[in-house]
Amino acid sequence: MRRRSSAPVRSAGKSATKRGRIASGSAHGDWVTLGRDGRLTLYAPTEDGLLRWTETTVGGPGWSGPHFVPVTGLTALTVVQGANAYVHFFGRRERAGVDGAPHVDIVHAIQYQTGLAITDWRSLGGPHRDRGQGREVGPPVGAVAADGTVYVFVRDARGGLALRREAPGGAWRAWEDLGGGGMDAPPAPIALAGGRLEVCAAAETGVLVWRQQEPGGEFTGPRGFALRPVPGTVAALETGPDRATFFWTDADSGGAAAWRDGDWPTELGGSSAGRPYACVRAVVDGYDCVVLAYRNADGSAVLGTGGTENEADGFWWYALAEPCQGAPALARDGLGRVVTALIAPDGVPRVARQEDSAGLTLTRWQALSG
């Protein structure tokens, strides 16, 4: 894989934020999204809100932004996109109550079209009535079913899984206790093209999996598996019709692993990741491939690729030698090219794209400054 040195690119348009405002790290989930108009948008948390950069044309390289969206008290941000291209934001918000004690709730907002305003943030409350337990709730993660139904999951105060989801008509159902225990990191939900959802989480006893038996149905599980992922590294990708592959760092080998229900994990090699892997399917040299990205122990981004559901045939890793905060992101742009994004230590996002050449060759890094 050829790599080029980092170089800044001037963002098009005027900044809609305070001069000098920078990202405070990376968001959770798919924080680079592709709109129905073919333009990419990149989101990142910042002090008291989030920042948004948007491509000015399909395929870039120009970007507008950053645009600042205020959210007071936001302690975690997750970005999720549905098949209808709506972008959903889930946050864990912590504010002082009337008695001065901290109060935690889960908040939600939506962006319906590329570059347009984000809706007001709506509180979804939390799974516990007791404020003390409420403060122990983990960061939210989400998924959007094929029919547009929105789901948000959190680790509750007992280390189990709690769910809140939309009801028909757009109202929200009450919080549901899905059981489980021993989790200390966010789970990995996935919305499959057939309409069902699955959730995978690392726990003290191994791996826990919840499944919908039919679209919109109740969740069964958790079903436990005697596997050893590193908590906080689990990610999910649909790799076959209504079939998910889960990726994580194996606690024994220290490298990446891929697992599908009914089989043993396949070791992929590489070094240890501390956050969930970014993952996307893409065509590389004419083959259907899985592309993974993560931040390694020395703080640099790493990229890997291998055949979809053919992990045993080999997985190839490339050190990108670009330092980052949190986990990188992967997406495909409006021209079908793989895009890798990261938040640099200086708080400025950087992106690189797949070149039209053999292998997964990237362009030089572009810094999205204000």
Output the domain CATH number for residue 261: 2.120.10.10
- Say if 139 falls within a structural domain: yes
- Say which amino acid occupies 135: R
**DSSP-based three-state secondary structure for 311:** helix
What's the pTM?
0.93
In a domain, 325, yes or no: yes
CB atoms within 10 A of CB 167: 11
Number of domains in the chain: 1
**Domain annotation covers residue 342:** yes
The separation between CA 209 and the C-alpha centre of its own chain, rounded to angstroms, equals: 18
Q: What is the pLDDT along the chain (370 residues), one digit of tens a residue?
A: 433 333 333 333 334 444 458 999 999 999 999 999 999 999 999 999 999 999 999 999 999 999 999 999 999 999 999 999 999 999 999 998 778 888 999 999 999 999 999 999 999 999 999 989 999 999 999 999 999 999 999 999 999 999 999 998 889 999 999 999 999 999 999 999 999 999 999 999 999 999 999 999 999 999 999 999 999 999 999 999 999 999 999 999 999 999 999 999 999 999 999 899 999 999 999 999 999 999 999 999 999 999 999 999 999 999 998 999 999 999 999 999 999 999 999 999 999 999 988 889 999 999 997 6
Residue reference for tokens 């899985």? 290
Q: Among candidates 91, 113, 141, which has minimal Cα distance to 41?
A: 113
The answer as to whether 31 is a domain residue is yes
How far is the C-alpha of 184 from the C-alpha of 161, rounded, in Å?
Answer: 11
Distances (CA, A) of 200 to 67, 108, 203, 250, 291: 34, 22, 10, 15, 20
- Which DSSP letter does residue 312 get? G
Under 8 Å between Cβ of 94 and 113: no
246 and 200 in contact (C-beta within 8 Å)? yes
| Structural domain boundaries, residue 254 | 7-369
Longest dimension (CA), the chain: 62
Element (H, E) at 131: helix 131-134
Query: Is the residue at 1 inside a domain?
Result: no
Kindly list the distances between the CA atom of residue 345 and the CA atoms of 24, 77, 132, in Å, as whole numbers in the listed order: 9, 18, 34
- Residue 339 in any domain: the answer is yes
Would residue 140 count as lying in a domain?
yes
> Is 135 inside any structural domain?
yes
Cα separations in angstroms, 312 against 248, 257, 266, 269, 276 = 16, 10, 6, 11, 21
* Type of residue found at 234: V
CA 291 to chain centre: 14
